[in-house]
Structure 1
C-alpha cells in the first residue's frame, strides 16, 4: 500500500494516508472525501543509528509502519 499526501480543501488540513486501490481517502479532521493528492518529496534514509532510532520513534508516534523491521512488516502485511 502506498503512502500519499493529501490536502483537504474543505478544512485546509494536509495529511498522509496509506491507501489501497479500493480505498476512498477521507480527511481525518472533517471527513470530506473531496481531497486532492499532493506531491511529496522523498526523504533520504538516515545513516547513523541515532537518526534511524529517532525516525522510528517519530513514525511510531504517528502510526507509520517504518518503525517495524522488514520481518515485522512482512508479518503485518499478510494479515
Structure 2
C-alpha cells in the first residue's frame, strides 16, 4: 500500500494518505473525495541510512532487539556507545 500526497480541491488542505488498491481516499478535514494527487518529495539518499539507524537505536533502547540480525544488533549497540 503506497502513501500518496493529495491536495483537496474543496478546501485546499494538503495531506498524505495510505491508499489500498480498492480504496478511494477522502480529505481528513472536509471529507471530500475531489482530490488532486501530488508529486511527493524524496528523501536524500545519504540521509535514509542515518534515519533508519536512528529509528533502530530508539527501538533498541526500548528493548526491541529480538527481530534484528546479529550484525544489525552489533551496529545498534555500537551506535549507543557513541551517543
Larger-gyration structure (1/2): 2
**Gap regions ≥5 residues in structure 1:** 57-70, 72-79
Moved over 6 A (4+): none
Structure 1 vs Structure 2 CA RMSD = 2.3
Distance 1:52 1:33, change over 3 A: same
TM-score of the two chains, using structure 2 as the length reference: 0.56
Output one character per residue of 1:5-60: Cα deviation in whole Å (capped at 9) or x when no partner.
000011110000000110101000000001010001111315268x834xx8xxxx
TM-score of the two chains, using structure 1 as the length reference: 0.59
What is residue 6 of structure 1 aligned with on the other side?
6
**Gap regions ≥5 residues in structure 2:** 59-66, 68-83
Distance 1:11 1:48, change over 3 A: closer
Q: Which among 51, 54, 59 is matched to residue 52 of structure 1?
A: 54
